[in-house]
Amino acid sequence: MHHTYRKTNFKKMTLNKTTKRKPCWRDVKSSLEDFDRAGLIGLVQDMYAASNDNKALLHARFSLGDDPLKPYKDMIIHWINPQDFRSPISVSKAQKAIRDYKRAQGHAESLAELTVFYCEEVFKFLAGCGIDDEGFYDALVRMFEQALQYILTLPKAQQTAFLVRLDHVRQLGQEVGWGVGDDFDHFWSAAGLAEENDAS
């Protein structure tokens, strides 16, 4: 007994299954156009209740609370300098806190605060624990560079306190190896700050 197969139809069926696309922001935006004000507020309320990350984002976006940066700092501490040394360390999750804040608000002064704070917390961690991971130190150097960039976008009057803190980080970097101290000095010098130190 011979069977005939309709290969063309089979291919079409397969193609239809594999070409379904995932929803994207455009789809969400289109759906939001049908919401009235009360419905939109209800949706935001549901999102607010669903996630601490959403709460932190909305608090930061609207500058609510005594310290909108606190949840982001808490996340940095949790992942880069936990109280329990047995807890896992995650550079990517600590850095995510800064990216999340940048999406929520992105004020240059606050980004300077968070990036400097990250570097400070790393050295608090290193004061009690050693870590043998090149990626960890590469991330620290990149964060130092970012912190310097954010600081230098601020008015001169706002730069001083941040630069004092970051200079302390730079000095601590001379003690950890992995070329961290040399890299810190390179970015410091490229920003013209080594000359200022010499002059003082």
Per DSSP, 174 falls in state G
Closest listed residue to residue 108, CA positions, set 65, 116, 142 = 116
pLDDT at 41 over 70: no
Domain extent, residue 172, equals 69-200
Q: What is the pLDDT, as a whole number, of residue 8? A: 46
Q: How far apart are CA 118 and CA 73, in angstroms?
A: 8
Is the model's pLDDT at 76 over the cut of 60? yes
Give the domain-ending residue among 9, 41, 65.
65
Q: Alpha-carbon distance 126 to 100, whole Å?
A: 25
Domain count, the chain: 2
Q: Do both 38 and 87 map to the same domain?
A: no
In a domain, 9, yes or no: no
- Asked, for residue 148, whether it belongs to a domain, the answer is yes
Interval 147-176: pLDDT, tens: 999 999 999 999 999 999 999 999 999 998
Question: Which residues are CB-neighbours of 136 under 8 A, at least 6 positions away?
Answer: 89, 91
Angle, helix 108-128 to helix 91-104, in steps of 10 degrees: 160
pLDDT at residue 39, rounded to an integer: 58
